[in-house]
Amino acid sequence: MAVTPSRRPSTSLPRTRRGQDTRAAILRAAESVIGEGGFAAASIADITRKAGIAQGTFYIYFQSKDEVFRELVLEMGRLTRAFLAEAVADAPDRLTAERRGLRAFLAFVAERPTLYNIVMEARFVAADAYRAYYTTFARGYAQNLAAAAREGEIRDGDAETRAWALMGMAITLGERFAIWEGEADLDRVVDEVFDMLERGLKP
């Protein structure tokens, strides 16, 4: 099943605090319901029941289950970028930023596994949103890597390829150690990754 873009304009953001709180409650409920059971199995009735609101209230804020799913993918992107930016804000160099960023990402996935599951399912449910999520992230990532290379903090190289390679590694590490194994030693995982990044595999 694939989500198709709505023909009508997306519902506008609420202006009142109460409306904002209700919309946020719908998103949290949708994250839980869809993230745990999958998009196809989830219903708007399930989401509103979880949120503790009337089913009709859902349509004040979202036009469909498709729209709320897409909003959750966008939210994952916003939250992840903000979380990582804060984690690396005072890093003295790029390698330190990479280490802190990977550790923060794994912790974020462990904290919000249902939201991570939604992004993974978006590959099949909303392929355009999935692609936009990663291309937006990769664009900023590549810019940061290119800037670090210009400053001599890392070796010169293809920043875009490096960005996608590092992202791919983080995604699979998140799935293996933050989703499948909820109590993994994330510091040990990060140490092993950076031993490989800094030293390579060549004996």
For the chain, the domains span 17-62, 67-199
CA angle 140, 146, 150 (to 5 degrees): 145
Q: One digit per residue, pLDDT tens: the chain, 203 residues?
A: 433 333 334 456 778 888 899 999 999 999 999 999 999 999 999 999 999 999 999 999 999 999 999 999 988 888 888 999 999 999 999 999 999 999 999 999 999 899 889 999 999 999 999 999 999 999 999 999 999 999 999 999 999 999 999 999 999 999 999 999 878 899 999 999 999 999 999 99
CA distances from 113 to 110, 120, 158, 188, 196 (A): 6, 11, 32, 20, 26
The end-to-end CA distance of the chain, in Å, is 47
Q: Looking at the domain 67-199, which fold is it?
A: Tetracycline Repressor; domain 2 (1.10.357)
| This model's pTM is above 0.95 | no
Position 2 scores a pLDDT of: 38
Q: Phi and psi of 59, rounded to 5°?
A: -75, -10
State how far the Cα of 71 lies from the Cα of 66, in Å rounded to an integer. 9
Domain 17-62 CATH assignment equals 1.10.10.60: yes
